[in-house]
Amino acid sequence: MRAITESFDYIIVGAGSAGCVVANRLSANPDVKVLLIEAGGSDRNFWLRLPVGYFRTINDPRFSRLFNTEPSGAVDRSMLWPRGRVLGGSSSINGLIFIRGQRADFDDWEALGASGWSFDGVLKHFKSFETFEGGESYYRGGAGEFNVAKLRNRNEACDAWVGAGVQFGLPMNEDFNAESTYGVGAYQLAIKDGWRVSSAAAFLSGIRARKNLSILLNSSVSRVLFEGRVAVGVEWLAGRDKVSARAEREVILSAGAIQSPQILQLSGVGPADLLRKLDLPVVHDAPEVGRNLQDHYQARTIVRLKKPVSLNDDIRKVTKLAKMGASWLFDKSGPLTVGAGQVGGAACTQYSKGARPDVQFNVMPLSVDKPGDPLHKYSGFTASVWQCRAASRGRLEIQSSNPLEQPRIAPNYFAEAIDQRTIVGGVRMLRDIFAQPAFRTLLDEEVLPGVAAQSDEAIFDFVKENGGTVFHCAGTCRMGSDDTAVVDPSLNVRGVAKLRVVDASVMPVVTSANTNAPTLMIGEKGAALIAGGS
Of 47-56, 184-193, 409-418, 490-499, the one with minimum mean pLDDT is 47-56
Selecting among 125, 284, 296, 472, the annotated active-site residue is: 472
Torsion of CA 27, 28, 30, 34, to 10 degrees: 0
CB 147 within 8 A of CB 190: yes
Asked if CATH classification 3.50.50.60 holds for the domain at 1-68+80-146+196-291+480-534, the reply, yes or no, is yes
| Fold of the domain spanning 152-186+297-387+412-472 | Cholesterol Oxidase; domain 2 (3.30.410)
pTM (global) more than 0.95: yes
Residues 28, 30, 31, 36: is their CA dihedral positive or negative? positive
**Residue 241: per-residue pLDDT:** 87
Q: Quick one: pLDDT band at residue 5, thresholds 50, 70, 90?
A: low
Residue 196: Cβ-neighbour burial (10 angstroms; 0-12, 13-18, 19+):
buried
Residue 4 pLDDT > 60 = no
**Residue 326: per-residue pLDDT:** 84
CB 450 within 8 A of CB 427: no
Mean pLDDT of 78-94: 97
Identify the CA nearest to 19 among candidates 221, 191, 307, 235: 221
Mean pLDDT of 211-230: 97
Residue 327 pLDDT > 90 = no
Residue 315 pLDDT > 80 = no
Express as a percent the part of the chain with pLDDT over 90: 89
Q: Cα separation of 436 and 170, whole Å? A: 12
Q: Under DSSP, is residue 235 helix (H, G, I), strand (E, B) or coil?
A: strand
**Residue 324: per-residue pLDDT:** 80
Mean pLDDT of 220-238: 97
Residue 338 pLDDT > 90 = no
Q: In this predicted model, which residue has the larger pLDDT, 167 or 240?
A: 167
Instruction: Give the distance, in angstroms, between the CA of residue 246 and the centroid of all CA atoms in the same chain.
Output: 30
Output the average pLDDT for the chain. 95
Pairing of strands 241-253, 499-501: parallel
E strands present in 202-321: 213-216, 220-227, 230-238, 241-253, 269-270, 284-285, 297-305
Mean pLDDT of 116-131: 98
Stated length of the chain: 534
CB 472 within 8 A of CB 295: yes
Identify the CA nearest to 150 among candidates 333, 340, 360: 333
Q: Under DSSP, is residue 375 helix (H, G, I), strand (E, B) or coil?
A: strand
Q: Cα separation of 407 and 258, whole Å? A: 8
The angle subtended at Cα 467 by Cα 463 and Cα 470, nearest 5°, is: 135
**Residue 126: per-residue pLDDT:** 98
**Residue 207 phi, psi dihedral angles, 5° rounding:** -125, 10
Express as a percent the part of the chain with pLDDT over 70: 98
**Residue 1: per-residue pLDDT:** 39
284 is catalytic: no
pLDDT digits (tens, 9 = 90+) for 245-287: 999 999 999 999 999 999 999 999 999 999 999 999 999 999 9
Residue 163 pLDDT > 90 = yes
- Residue 487 DSSP label: B
**Residue 299: per-residue pLDDT:** 98
Q: Quick one: pLDDT band at residue 96, thresholds 50, 70, 90?
A: very high
- Residue 176 has a CB neighbour count (10 Å cut-off) of 27
CB 180 within 8 A of CB 192: no
Identify the CA nearest to 384 among candidates 352, 417, 345: 345
Q: Quick one: pLDDT band at residue 171, thresholds 50, 70, 90?
A: very high
Q: Cα separation of 379 and 311, whole Å? A: 8
Q: In this predicted model, which residue has the larger pLDDT, 325 or 19?
A: 19
Q: Cα separation of 532 and 249, whole Å? A: 13
**Residue 187 phi, psi dihedral angles, 5° rounding:** -80, 155
CB 388 within 8 A of CB 357: yes
Q: Cα separation of 298 and 90, whole Å? A: 19
pLDDT digits (tens, 9 = 90+) for 351-382: 998 889 999 999 999 999 877 688 999 999 99
Residue 134: Cβ-neighbour burial (10 angstroms; 0-12, 13-18, 19+):
middle
Domain residues of the chain, as ranges? 1-68+80-146+196-291+480-534, 152-186+297-387+412-472
User: Between 417-434 and 156-168, two packed helices, what is the crossing angle to 10 degrees?
Assistant: 110
36 beta partners: 12, 215
**Residue 303: per-residue pLDDT:** 98
